[in-house]
Structure 1
Amino acid sequence: MAIEQSGSKAGSGEKAFQWTIGILLTLGGLLMLLPFVWMILSSFKLEAEVKQIPPTLWPQQFTLENFRNLFDNMAFGVYLKNTLIIVLFSFFGLFLNAMAGYGFAKFQFKGRRVLFYLVLATMMIPGQVTMIPVYLILNQMNLTNTMTGIVLPGLVGAFAIFLFRQFMMTIPDELLEATRLDGAGEFRTFLQIVLPISTPILAVQAILTFIGGWNSFLWPLIIANDEKLYTLSVGLSLLKGQNESQFALQMAGSAFMVVPIIIIFIIFQKYIIDNYTISGIK
């Protein structure tokens, strides 16, 4: 009897602990979301309402004037076009990464292991270290202050090549040999067999590629001198510097920048987490 009572007390104590942890995590999540909610709602407020004290969470009068101002007076349409171009070329680079991973995984050639280790070694070098050499090379090629100079260094990446290689090594060689015996060339085999099988890792890398391209900031800021080549991140930085007192306008620019990333993450967070499970290195 005493054992049953002690067991019930332990069970109730464990449930109380779980409830306490759940409540604390919920409160923490709400506190974390509050700045994002305030930013999004403030983007629809008038400037006077954003500055009023005490502040209001829900807009007294919804307005799209801040967003119109972004595109009419702040050249956000140009920044959006440049960002989408970078994202588009990043997806082309994703295709090149997949091809490189396929080559390392399924082709036997002299120096393959050494070359693959060299690719992995580039992951040990911080991007800030290579920026100056890459800038000097592009300057010699007259590609500075051009869209080509912005997108070219980011077309391929060692991490993506590594992930594709590790995943494609699990594809049975017999399947590829059967495809070749049916008369398919290597490129057709890659397109019709390897890529469809690699859809999970391809989808994950596509999501991360979109997020990386959408958030591109430092390299476009370094390589481009013309404001017509700036991205949304660079434009948002300019907006904050040139309109320090216009908080509603800044909230609109920040919301326009952040909301697509939040939506992408909410929809595809399962695949993003699975990516790091597959990689086994993070």
Structure 2
Amino acid sequence: MNAMLPFPNISPEIFTISLFGMDFALRWYALAYIAGILIGWRLVVMTIKTPRLWPNNTPIMTPAQIEDLLTWVILGVILGGRLGYVLFYQPSYYLQNPLEILYIWQGGMAFHGGLVGVIVAGLLYTGRSNIYKLSAADAMALGVPAGLLLGRIANFINAELWGRPTDLPWGVAFPTQAAQYCPDVIGLCARHPSQLYEAALEGFVLGALLLWLAWRRNAYKTPGVIAGTFFAGYGLARFAVEFVRQPDAQFISVGNPLGLAFQINGYGITMGQTLSLPMIALGVLLILRARRSAGA
């Protein structure tokens, strides 16, 4: 048997309370969302309270406006994330079961959909409040990686979104029946802990880079640089991890064992990679635009 790591015995539920014959549970995934939003909010407020970071040493928003924007962002995350999952990953199922679109407690959120929801929410709020959109995007981007880091760790605890089978010594034997379905493997099936790869790249590394740009390189003074770095950085990280991440079951078939969403002659890309390409392009465009504006 190849060396592998056992899955840690951590319950997805932190605690459960029974009231009036019903069970109410606090799950790690919900806590990750809450903690990620709070940490991101406080990071942005810290920059708002540091005028020297901003163009003309003048923050673009007040702490009160950040709180108002946070409400819009939360709605964008929930609505966009759910609708993104429905449209990108299981449209045929939800067309047949439209009421289940509302069952968000059963899981099924897409990051790319949530990102679109946040962008729409940000555009609406900054438009009605007359706030410079690129600087607002920079502020919002700084707060996202903390949520990504915690969210991916919660995915790992939930034993979901695991990677492809591997014989590397840090492969993890996830306990679910779906994770252990590996026709070519005898005995326990170890898989890439792709959730932790994403937590490291999208959360820790990208977050540290954005903080360094904001606090050490005065990147807020060049609107668009931090937002562009976030889009390009996340897109590149997700594109890379997709090579070892198990695709959603609906994309896998006898003729398409790799679960490629688009392919020609056996070569192609997954749905996650497909959705990451526009992010990379947008990020590069924002960075180039910001540099041209700074040099004008």
TM-score, normalised by the number of residues in structure 1: 0.29
Higher Cα Rg, which structure: 1
Normalized per residue, the structure richer in strand is 2
Higher relative contact order (CA 8 A, sep 6+): 1
